[in-house]
Every structure is written in structure tokens, then in C-alpha cells.
Amino acid sequence: MRSSGRRSQVRDAVRQMYCDRHAEYIEYRNSPRGINESAAWAAADAFMRQHGLVGASFVDLGCGFGWPVIRSWRPRSYIGLDISSELLERHLLKTDPHVLLIDRDLEEFDPTDLASIRDDRRTVVISIFSFHYLAEPYRLVEKIARPGRWFCFVVANAEHDRASADNDRIVHLLQEGQTFTYFLHELHEYIRWIGSPMLLETKQCGASVGVRSENPYYLIGGRW
């Protein structure tokens, strides 16, 4: 399949899941069926506390409707971007001060969206379950990487997903009654795209619920 066709296939699936069927997705994520997502956010929370990032400014790429632990990080400011206006309308931080929510397809990310950021040394870019929906994540990384800026990405684990991928390296993963469609990217590809940060760490994460659901994600964190 041509590159444009692969991109359209995944983008259409993303819009169907998070825009057209947003209520079903919210119900899934708020139920015990979303246990893997809870475990991944717990790993992100541990990263923030380990590196003293509570009280920093946060940029959340593919923020959806948020996650309760974000409030415990006491953001100095928070910018959330997502393709789904329906999820943004339900964001947990929507009415909090110093919060900016932007309806944006990450394939069309504009660095001016982050113009309000003044101190990269106390800024964390997070992306939980979003990068694997991009055909070329390195293009987004090139736009957000700044010296001193922290990052914390949770991405799909290719070893976990390989059996669910087709010949075009598109994953069709059935998980707890929901089908997630995204690109198969290897861990070494993400590390190469991130470049040469001052600090880099990786960790498998996700809940262990049977063999197929064990360690379905990687946390990739550090500082440029």
C-alpha cells in the first residue's frame, strides 16, 4: 500500500474511534477494561515524581479528555492538543486556570501552538498513546525538541503487537472489545527519532493480564 493510503487508513480509524465513537471510547477507558491505560499513566506519574517535575509546565500531545493524575502534578500551565473536539469538551482540566486546549491533528502540528512557553527547563512534553498513530513521528519530534525540555512518551510495544500487524505494518489490535488501528514502529526507531538527549530512559509498562496483554507499551522519557 502506498504511504498516503496507509496514513489515510490509520487516520480514518483514529477519527472513527476518538471522534465518531467518543462516548464508547470514554466508557471503555473509565471502566476496568482500561486497566492497561491506567498502568501506563502510573508509569508516567512515577517518571514525573522521580525527576521532580511536579509543578512544571506540560504540553500534552494527543491529550484526549485527560487523566486524573495530571491534576496531582499541579501544572504551572497546561497545553493539550487533540484531534477530537468531542474529547476536548470533556477534558478534566477544561475549567482550570492556565489551561489551553487546542483542536489539532498532530500530523498538522504547528510549533506556534507552544508560543506561550517561556522556560523549556521546566517544560515537559508528554504523549500517552499518540505517537504510534503517526506515520512519521520524527516529523513531530523535530518540531517539539528543544534543549532543556523534558519528554515522556508512552508508545505501543512492537514486540507485543507484531502478530496483529498486517503486511503494511499497520496494527489492528483487539483489546478488551475495542479495535485499535495504528502503525507498527520499533523501539529503536523511536530512540533514533528522539536524537541525542542529555537523559534517556526506557521502561516497559502496562498491566499484566494474560500473555497477550503483558507489557503492551514502552515509556520513553528523558531531557533534550
Q: Which domains can be identified in the chain, with CATH numbers?
A: 3-54+111-223 (3.40.50)
> How do residues 73-118 score in pLDDT, each as one tens digit?
999 999 999 999 999 999 999 999 999 999 999 999 999 999 888 8
Region 13-23 average pLDDT: 94
Per-residue confidence (pLDDT) for residue 101, from 0 to 100: 97
Percentage of residues of the chain with pLDDT beyond 90: 78
Per-residue confidence (pLDDT) for residue 183, from 0 to 100: 97
> How do residues 130-161 score in pLDDT, each as one tens digit?
999 999 999 999 999 999 999 999 999 999 99
Region 167-192 average pLDDT: 93
Question: Is 171 a residue whose pLDDT tops 70?
Answer: yes
Centre a 10 Å sphere on the Cβ of residue 166 and count the other Cβ atoms it contains. 13
Question: Is 212 a residue whose pLDDT tops 50?
Answer: no
Lowest mean pLDDT among 2-6, 90-94, 186-190: 2-6
Question: Is 35 a residue whose pLDDT tops 80?
Answer: no
Question: Is 201 a residue whose pLDDT tops 60?
Answer: yes
